[in-house]
């Protein structure tokens, strides 16, 4: 089974992806996390993608697809929850081939929608745990101890692209390139539209749809 969580930055894809993958024993694939890992490890790929991540622009398809193929190859035979991928129609087309190679099928595309003013507020106050992926929010869901992860005790980080100017670019990129991907899946009748304003409610609505 392949589940695609779709929506602008800040709608809550990451939080839902972590929960779904844990509860369903599926592999969580966040291309954003994979790219940030390359950056942190200062690999050649990391150096190539730095300017894109810093500015909020999409990383070229060939780089993202190379990393994705490696990840899917390592976890062959398992189901996947995609978060932040595919972001272009070419990525979506490539995913069709990769899914077939893995003997998997795209079963659900959840388009999560949140009004833009809420998204911007959420992203500015978002803090993440680089170790276990837990996501906090200084306003709505603060950690018990300032900047420390409740789950694993690591120091939390404020992503450098979760700042007002870069957020605007990311939302613009989403509108320009990523919405077309939704149409690609709508034609195949795979898309369910869900509100992401209330995260708990969103999880309650998605669970039965994926057979949980």
Residues contacting ligand AMP: total by CB under 6 A: 17
Note whether 126 binds ligand AMP by CB under 6 A: no
* CB contact at 8 A, 2 and 103: no
Closest approach, Cβ 19 to ligand AMP, in A, equals 17
Applying CB under 6 A, the span of 17-25, 48-56, 127-135, 184-192 interacting with ligand AMP comes to 48-56
Residue 39 binds to ligand AMP (criterion: CB under 6 A)? no
Catalytic residue among 13, 36, 122, 127: 13
Q: Is 13 a catalytic residue?
A: yes
Q: Write the binding mask 74 to 103 for ligand AMP: x where contact by CB under 6 A, - elsewhere.
A: ----------xx-x---x------------
Nearest-approach distance from CB 79 to ligand AMP, in angstroms: 19
List the interface residues with ligand AMP, window 171-210 (CB under 6 A).
none
Q: Phi/psi at 135 (nearest 5 deg)? A: -120, 130
Tell me, yes or no, if 87 is annotated catalytic. Answer: yes
Complex with ligand AMP: residue 39 or 197, whichever CB lies closer: 39
Q: Catalytic: which of 19, 36, 122, 126?
A: 126
* Contact of 161 with 128, CB cutoff 8 Å: no
Answer for which of 46, 50, 52, 102 binds ligand AMP (CB under 6 A) is 52
Nearest partner of 27 among 82, 67, 68, judged by Cα: 82
Q: What does the binding site for ligand AMP look like in residue numbers (CB under 6 A)?
A: 9, 31-32, 35, 52-53, 56-59, 64, 84-85, 87, 91, 161, 170
Catalytic residue numbers?
13, 87, 126, 159, 170
């Amino acid at each position: 089974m392949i589940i695609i969580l779709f929506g602008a930055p800040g709608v809550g894809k990451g939080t839902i992806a972590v929960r779904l993958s844990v509860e369903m024993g599926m592999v969580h694939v966040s291309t954003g996390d994979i790219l940030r890992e390359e950056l942190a490890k200062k690999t050649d790929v990391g150096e190539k993608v730095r300017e894109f991540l810093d500015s909020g622009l999409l990383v070229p398809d060939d780089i993202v697809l190379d990393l994705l193929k490696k990840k899917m190859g390592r976890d062959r035979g398992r189901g996947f929850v995609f978060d932040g991928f595919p972001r272009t129609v070419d990525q979506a087309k490539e995913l069709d081939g990769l899914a077939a190679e893995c003997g998997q099928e795209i079963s659900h595309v959840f388009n999560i929608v949140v009004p833009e003013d809420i998204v911007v507020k959420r992203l500015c106050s978002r803090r993440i745990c680089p170790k276990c992926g837990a996501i906090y929010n200084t306003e709505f869901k603060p950690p018990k101890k300032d900047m420390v992860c409740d789950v694993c005790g690591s120091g939390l980080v404020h992503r450098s692209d979760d700042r007002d100017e870069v957020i605007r670019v990311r939302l613009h990129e989403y509108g320009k390139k990523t919405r077309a991907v939704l149409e690609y899946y709508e034609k195949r009748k795979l898309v369910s539209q869900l509100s992401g304003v209330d995260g708990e409610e969103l999880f309650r609505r998605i669970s039965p749809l994926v057979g949980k």
